[in-house]
Structure 1
Amino acid sequence: MVQPKYHVFICTSCRINGQQKGYCFSKGSVDLVQRFMEEIEDRDLSGDVVINNTGCFGICDKGPVVVVYPEGVWYGNVTEDDVERIFEEHFEGGNPVKDLMI
């Protein structure tokens, strides 16, 4: 069983029936998941960082929403451009990205 250092949940507005529609989805959260996956691969962090897409967190005006455990850090309005900073500062540096936190 993999015991990752970080478990990342990204809202993709996935509904119970499997449909993806909603605010985070409309703001590119599926592409955001892909960007996180690419960064994991590029940095060889597949054992340290695990990504899951989720349904709505209920704070759509802050979307796309990304939640990182075990710290329970919530990031809002995350874009593909923010992913590199999250990896460098949070996952590799150990310091959450303050200006993205909600």
Structure 2
Amino acid sequence: MSRPQRHVFVCAQQRPPEHPRGSCAGKGGTAVLQAFWAELQKHKAHDTIAVTYSGCLGPCDGGTNVLVYPEAVLYSGVTQDDVAEIFERHLLGGEPLARLVAPGEAW
């Protein structure tokens, strides 16, 4: 595998439903992760983009959370319907999707 230009971490943290912080898995994290993997396949971008599931990225109440490096952009409230736009605009086009960027105080 070559060094990716961008690396995406998708929170798939699973906590019990009654946990006070909630969890990204409980807010669709697994579907978001699978949508990123599908976009990776669709664009045949395995040499330039890496997609990895992760544990907690921090602001659980705003999940599903997605972190993109090297820019260190944290997206919150991501749904599987947002993934294609993030992939096209940010991962391929280099422009973060402002409407989903987590507020600075969240992370």
Do they fold alike, i.e. is TM over 0.5? Answer: yes
> Is residue 35 of structure 2 the alignment partner of residue 3 of structure 1?
no
Q: Report the Cα distance in structure 1 between the residues aligned to 2:37 and 2:44, rounded to whole angstroms.
A: 10
Q: Report the Cα distance in structure 2 between the residues aligned to 1:4 and 1:70, rounded to whole angstroms.
A: 10
Percent identity reads: 42
- Tell me by how many angstroms 1:77 deviates: 0.3
- Letter aligned with residue 55 of structure 1: G
- Letter aligned with residue 8 of structure 1: V
TM-score scaled to structure 1, two decimals?
0.88
Q: Deviating runs (4+, > 4 A) in structure 1?
A: none
- Letter aligned with residue 99 of structure 1: R
Tell me how many residue pairs correspond in the alignment.
96
- Tell me by how many angstroms 1:58 deviates: 2.3
TM-score scaled to structure 2, two decimals?
0.84
What is the alpha-carbon root mean square deviation over aligned residues? 1.1
Paired residue secondary structure (2:52): strand
- Letter aligned with residue 71 of structure 1: E
- Letter aligned with residue 74 of structure 2: W
Task: In structure 1, list runs of 5 or more residues that go unmatched.
Answer: 14-19
- Tell me by how many angstroms 1:50 deviates: 0.6
Q: Report the Cα distance in structure 2 between the residues aligned to 1:91 and 1:55, rounded to whole angstroms.
A: 21
- Letter aligned with residue 89 of structure 1: R
